[in-house]
Structure 1
Amino acid sequence: MEVVVYKCINCGGPLVFKADTQNWICDYCLSEFTEQEVKAFINNEQSNYESTMSGESLQEKKQLDQEFEEKAVGFICNSCGAEIVTDDTTAATFCYYCHNPTIIPRRLEGEFRPKKVIPFKLDREKATERFVNWCKRKPLLPKYFTSTSQLEKLTGIYVPFWLFDCNSNGEVAGEATKVRVYTRGDTRYTETRFYHVKREGKAGFKAVPADGSKKMDDELMTILEPYDYQDLTDFSMSYLSGYLAEKYDMDQNDVYGRVSDVIRKNMGSLLRETIQGYSSVRIQHSNVQLKEVDATYVLLPVWVFTYQFKGKTYLFAMNGQTGKIAGRLPISMGRAASWFGMISGATFAVLSLGGLFLW
C-alpha cells in the first residue's frame, strides 16, 4: 500500500506540521519550512515524477487523484468500527473512541477529497495545558483523570465537516398585543389591543457547519463552534502530518436535515426580531424555504480525549483552533462525598448523572 511521506528538503527525513508556528519541521535535522517552501518542493517532485510517466498513465493518475485516494492509509477499529485516515508519519496506537489497541490498516476508500482545511492552531503541549486547567475547575473528577498515562491519549484529529451556503425566503405571522394600564379617578383600567402581525424577508447563510461523522457526538461538535473560517486553506495531505483524520461516513444529504433545521430556526428568529413595539408576540405560522444550497467538504481540527470510568466511555473535545472545550464529565463518588460531606441521596443521584460542560 502506497502512502505519502513529506520529506525534509535538506536531509530527507519526515516533516511534521507544527500548529504553533504553522510551519513544517524535520525532527532529524531541525530544519523548518514554510507552507510556500513545502508546496514548491512537492510540486517540483510531482513534476519530476509525472515527466517519467506516459501520457496514458498520467491521465489515469490525475483522474484518481492519487495524493488522497491512493497515497493515504485507512484504519478500521475491530472493536467499534470507527474509520480514520492518516499518513504513515502518525502512529495509530489505539482507537480514540473505544481505546481498542488493535487497528488494521487498509486502503482508503474515500469518495471525495476535502476541498478545504483549517490547520491546527494549538499543538499538543498547549492543548494539554488548556485541558488540565479546565479540569482543575472540576473538583469531582476521578483522581487519575489527568494522569500522564491518560493525557497521552489526547489525540489531534481532523474531523470531517460539511459547510453549507444557501439563500432563504421566509415569512412569519402571528398575534401581537399592546397593553396599556391607566387610572381614572379611583379606577384602574387595563386596555389590551390585538394585532395580526406578519413579516417576510430574504437572507443568505454562509458556512453553516455539520459534522459528517457518525462516531462524533453532534452536540459536542456543535458546542465547539464557532470556527474562524477565514483560516480555511486549500487541502493538502501535508497538514495531516503528525495528526489523524477521519473520513466522513455521512454525506451532505445525510446531514442536510440537521443543517436545514438550524437555518430555518435562525431565519425565523431574524424575522421575529423585526416585530417590535408590542407587549407580547405569539408566532402562529412560520414558513422558510431554502434555495441555491451548496455544500463544501472540509476538515476541521479537534483535540479528542476519551476516558473509561466504571464501564462507561466519556468523550471530550477541544476546538483545535480556538481552544474551546466540551465534554461529559465522570464523577468520583468518593471525591464527591468528601467534597460535599453529608448530602441527601436524591441530590447526590442527580449530581452523579454528570452533564455537558464547556469552557
Structure 2
Amino acid sequence: MKDQKLQHTELKKACINCGAELKYKPGTTVINCEYCGHEEAIAVDGLGFEELELYPYLQEMGAQKHSEEIAMLHCKNCGATQHVEENYKSLHCVYCSMPLILEDAKKEEWILPGAVLPFQIDQKASHKIFQAWVKRLWFAPNKLKKAALDPQFTKGLYLPYWTFDAQLKATYSGERGDYYYVTETYRDSKGRKQTRQVRKTRWTPVSGSVSGFVDDTLVQASKQRSGRVPPKIARWNLQKLQPFESGFLAGFVTEKYTIPLKQGHLSAKNKAESIAARWCRQDIGGDAQRIHHMKVRLSDETFKHILLPVYVSAYRYRGKEYNFFINGENGAISGTRPYSFWKIFFAILFGLIVVGIIVILSK
C-alpha cells in the first residue's frame, strides 16, 4: 500500500556499535558516528547522475519514475518548506528561527534530486568563518556574537536548484559597427583654431546563425518571503556534484523546491536567450553590434533537480529577522546585520567629549 511504502530519503541509520544516528561527514563519502567514531561508506552510483527529459515532466507525465513522497515541515512565518533528516530535540526554521511543529509534518510528492553537492566544510569550520566575520563588524550588538557562536543557531541546509541543458540554435539579423576617426576643426575658448580626432561608427548590415550546447543553466528553485540566499555566495563548483544518495543528507536540513519546474524552465529560457544574444554579438564581431531580430530554438532539453550546500544562522533582534549564509562548498560568507544603538550612541558621546577636551585645552 502507498502509505506503507518505504521512503529512501527518510531513512535514518543507527550505528552498529552504540546505536547513535549516523550523519554525513562533510568533505567525504562516508556517514559516521559522532560518539564512537564508526564510519560507513555512502554507496555512490559510479554511472553518474541522470539527466531527465524535460517535456514529459512539463506535460505531467513520467513523474512517477523519479518522484516519491517525503515528510515536509512548512514554516508559517516565512514560507520555507523543509525536510529534516535529523531528530533534533527542538525544531526551528533555518531561515527565521521560528519553532516548527513536528506534528504538522505532511507527506508531499517531490521530484527526486538527481545530484547533490555534498558539504565540503563542517559546522566547526563554519563557526570560525562566522567568528572572523563578526569580529570585523563595527557596532554589532552582543546578541549577534552569541548567534554566531552558538551551534543551535547554525544549521547546514541543502538548497534546491533546477539545472537545464539544451542544444541552442539562433538566427539573427542586425548591424556590425566598426569605429573610424576623422579630424575635426574647432575654435577654443580664446578663438584659436584647433583640431581633434572624433570617433565615428560605420554600420554594415549582417545576418547569420549560431549554435552550441548550453550546459547546467542554474535556476533557483525556492523562494521565501525573507531569508533569500545572497548572490554573493550563490556560486558553487558544479563539477563536484555527486549522484544523489540520501546518506549525504544525514544530519542536515533539506529545503523542498517551491518554484515549480515549469516556472524554472521559463527562467532558464530567458537565460538561454541572453546566452544566444552574447553568441550573436561575438559572431557579428566589430567594435559594436546591433541585433534587430533574433530567433532562438532549443532542442534535446533535459533537466536535473539538484541540492547545493549552505550554512545558515538566523535570529531575531528587536523584532526583525536577520540571516547569515556561508557557502558549504567554498566558505564564502554574506549576511545582513543590525547595529547597536547604544554602542553608536556612546561612541558619538565619547567623540564629543574628546572634541570638547581638545577645544578646552587649546584655549
- Band of TM-score, shorter chain: 0.7 to 0.9
SS in 2 for 1:165: strand
247-256 or 328-337, which moves further after superposition?
A: 328-337
The 10-residue stretch of structure 1 (188-197 or 309-318) with the greater mean CA deviation from structure 2: 188-197
1:134-173 alignment runs, 5 A limit: 134-148=133-147, 152-170=152-170, 171=172, 173=174
* Aligned AA (1:13): A
Contact 1:90/1:243 (CA < 8 Å) preserved in 2? Answer: no
Q: 1:300 to 1:27 in 2, by over 3 A?
A: same
The alpha carbon displacement at 1:286 in A equals 4.5
How many residue pairs get aligned? The number is: 316
CA deviations on 1:149-180 (whole Å, 9 max, x unpaired) are 66531111111111111122233624524231
Task: Give ranges in structure 2 of 5+ residues lacking alignment.
Answer: 46-62, 186-192, 352-363
Shift of 1:225: 3.3
Residue 297 of structure 1 deviates from its aligned partner by 0.8
Which moves more between the two structures, 3-12 or 289-298? 3-12
Distance change >3 Å, CA 30–CA 189, structure 1 → 2? closer
Aligned to 2:318: 310
Q: Distance in 1 between matches of 2:169 and 2:273?
A: 10
Asked if 1:176 corresponds to 2:180, the answer is: no
Given the superposition, is the C-alpha separation of residues 188 and 122 from structure 1 closer, same or farther in structure 2, using an over 3 Å criterion? closer
**1 or 2 for the larger relative contact order (CA 8 Å, sep ≥6)?**
2
Distance 2:343 2:36 in 1: 48
Does residue 295 (structure 1) correspond to residue 303 (structure 2)? The answer is: yes
SS in 2 for 1:294: strand
- Offset of residue 22 of structure 1: 4.0
Give 3-state SS (helix, strand or coil) of 1:307's partner.
strand
Q: What TM-score results when the alignment is normalised by the length of structure 1?
A: 0.74
Structure 2 residue identity aligned to 1:153: F
Is the CA contact 1:176–1:197 (under 8 Å) kept in the aligned structure 2? no
1:104 correspondence with 2:102: yes
| AA partner of residue 169 (structure 2) | N
Scaled by the length of structure 2, what TM-score is found? 0.73
User: Aligned AA for 1:142?
Assistant: P
Name which of 5, 11, 15 aligns with 2:22: 15
SS in 1 for 2:334: strand
Mapping of 1:169-248 within 5 angstroms?
Answer: 169-170=169-170, 171=172, 173-174=174-175, 176-182=177-183, 190=198, 192-196=200-204, 198=206, 200-215=209-224, 220=229, 222-248=231-257
Compared with structure 1, are the counterparts of its residues 273 and 141 closer, same or farther at alpha carbon in structure 2 (3 Å cutoff)?
farther
DSSP 3-state at the match of 2:202: strand
The separation in 2 between residues aligned to 1:127 and 1:10, in whole angstroms, is 29
Render the CA deviation track for 1:124-162: whole Å, top value 9, x for unaligned. 111111122223333243332121566531111111111
Gaps of 5+ in 1: 40-62, 344-359
Asked if the contact 1:5–1:89 (Cα under 8 Å) also holds between the matched residues in 2, the reply is: no
For the pair shown, which has the larger CA radius of gyration, 1 or 2? 2
Name the residue aligned to 1:57. none
Whichever residue aligns with residue 263 of structure 2, its letter is D
Residues 64, 267 of structure 1: CA spacing in aligned structure 2 closer, same or farther, 3 A cutoff?
closer
Relative distance call for 1:334 and 1:150 in structure 2 (3 A) is farther
CA RMSD of aligned residues (A): 3.6
Q: Return closer, same or farther for 1:64/1:287 CA change in 2, 3 Å cut-off.
A: closer
